[in-house]
Structure 1
């Protein structure tokens, strides 16, 4: 028997899925950050590359164990990873995965492209992934693709929104910004009494925030929805900036001005407010009025698995999709902690 492996790696987690060639998902695994530039160091791993590779290997090994198959049975594998920004990055991962025997045919791409593969295999589409970080990808009907990679370092996801939330309460405490409801919400989240305490724990030597900064993003979105002027301005500005990158992606593959799908994925977009989404769509429609905003049908990892199946010459039809849907892992696998 032959099987395929799909791995989706971001700044918070790495998801590995193993499937049969008919689309049946047989095993899943989860590891830590798979970004070779940003994986946290540890006593065992003194550089980001080895730390990321260890996290990827852990996720894949758990998926193989759950599927009860050997790595030698993997016909093809697709690794869709944050941090694959340049050709040499892809080569580092490809060689490492080949050394580990994770597939006879190994493909590596930036994680921005996984969403356009999840349900939009033959359609022009632009994807916006907004999790801890952010990435934008695009593909035209002929298969030409582009992803933002380091071009988008200035505008990121929940981590940056969390930092903007902190910056807003710092400025409000100094009287530079007007008072904002973000202040009591952040103090509550940090279990602190003053903004100065928050600033100290985030910037002091040998200090560490009690929660990850990206977890402030839902607070920002909730306060924007509730009408806080400072929060709303931050969210709208961020949405317009993300929209600019969506348009840039569309231009790079020649679909700007057409009725392409604008696909949203990632934890930040799971928040019930639509203020961020609406701001993105507003900016994109300034030059592409017929754009079709859609939430991703599947998690990005599913798009990666579909690409792995295609690499094994599997035709993605309704039967394959039905088997995949019927065997999807529990949603907790994909949750950002």
Structure 2
């Protein structure tokens, strides 16, 4: 069999893997559960999920692990050197030719094929990563001091309705909208469900109200507007840090900033609008790009590039044209 190239995007909501040949043709796809060593029930469970997605993709391609010429692992939870070391040991005997990085890097090539630029992904959580012109890398990891993504919106909305209920905050349409979203009758019931010792809402369930927050902001609720604008500022601010740390702003030229993730890619996203309004102040010369591919496709392009395959227009077009259906990658 011809050499294959493997891209993996592992997060908390899912892990996805794609297998491509040297022409960019996707030959197999697989998905599984949480591949984040911080978010899974154990690090070993995260490894098992990542390998399950890979094996499903290889089986669909009629291939084996031995056929993989290069694998690009883009994994949530690769935040410190010991995290990378853990994965290096876990994968050493399985995929000898590989790179292991935080999942934030997967999105860069989804809007900037050169792989040089900043990626700002806001899905359930947020991941920000950058690659400079000389190859310098930086990702936000645990440096982020603000809750961002859908979960960040949920946390701030939850705080706002509780303060309003106590008479310590402004009235907001979220007071009725949030409980209604979860088929609850009051803020008190919402507070109980979010915080009780047994049977409490999961992080994913909490994040599920993000669209309620953005809808309230779009409708003009002042509290929701403030939450959304703060989220946009935070995302732009950390993107600016990433650009500076990797030398992207040093030359004074254009800087590609790739937006991805459900919060930023939603139609008429007020979070994206807020971020884009703040971006020029944080990254002079910023050129925003909406992601045209799912993050796992960006990881696959990394695998091809790192494996010595030139990312020509033909390769990019073939990969985009042979991706699995959108429903395959939906959370």
TM tier relative to shorter chain: over 0.9
Aligned residues: 327
Segments of 4+ in structure 1 off by > 6 A?
none
Given the alignment of the two structures, is residue 334 of structure 1 paired with residue 326 of structure 2, yes or no? no
Q: Please list, as runs of the form range in 1=range in 2, the aligned pairs for 1:87-126 lying within 5 A after superposition.
A: 87-99=81-93, 101=94, 103-122=95-114, 124-126=116-118
Measured in 1, the distance between the counterparts of 2:278 and 2:230 equals 10
Residue matched to 1:79:
73
Residue matched to 2:271:
276
Secondary structure of the corresponding residue to residue 66 of structure 1: helix
Measured in 2, the distance between the counterparts of 1:232 and 1:113 equals 30
Residue matched to 1:23:
24
Secondary structure of the corresponding residue to residue 286 of structure 1: helix
Residue matched to 2:164:
172
Q: Please list, as runs of the form range in 1=range in 2, the aligned pairs for 1:91-240 lying within 5 A after superposition.
A: 91-99=85-93, 101=94, 103-122=95-114, 124-209=116-201, 212-240=205-233
Residue matched to 2:5:
4
Residues 124, 322 of structure 1: CA spacing in aligned structure 2 closer, same or farther, 3 A cutoff?
Answer: closer
Residue matched to 1:288:
283
Residue matched to 2:239:
246
Measured in 1, the distance between the counterparts of 2:99 and 2:140 equals 19
Secondary structure of the corresponding residue to residue 135 of structure 1: strand
Structure 1 unpaired stretches of 5+: 42-47
The root-mean-square deviation of aligned C-alpha atoms, in Å, is 1.7
* Alignment deviations for residues 42-99 of structure 1 (CA, whole Å, 9 cap, x no partner): xxxxxx2112112111111111111111111111111001111112211211221233
Measured in 1, the distance between the counterparts of 2:283 and 2:192 equals 45
- After TM superposition, the structure 1 stretch with the greater mean CA deviation from structure 2, 1-10 or 288-297, is 288-297
Q: Please list, as runs of the form range in 1=range in 2, the aligned pairs for 1:40-55 lying within 5 A after superposition.
A: 41=41, 48-55=42-49
Shift of residue 282, structure 1, vs aligned partner: 2.6
| TM-score in terms of structure 2 length | 0.94
Residue matched to 2:36:
35
Structure 2 unpaired stretches of 5+: none
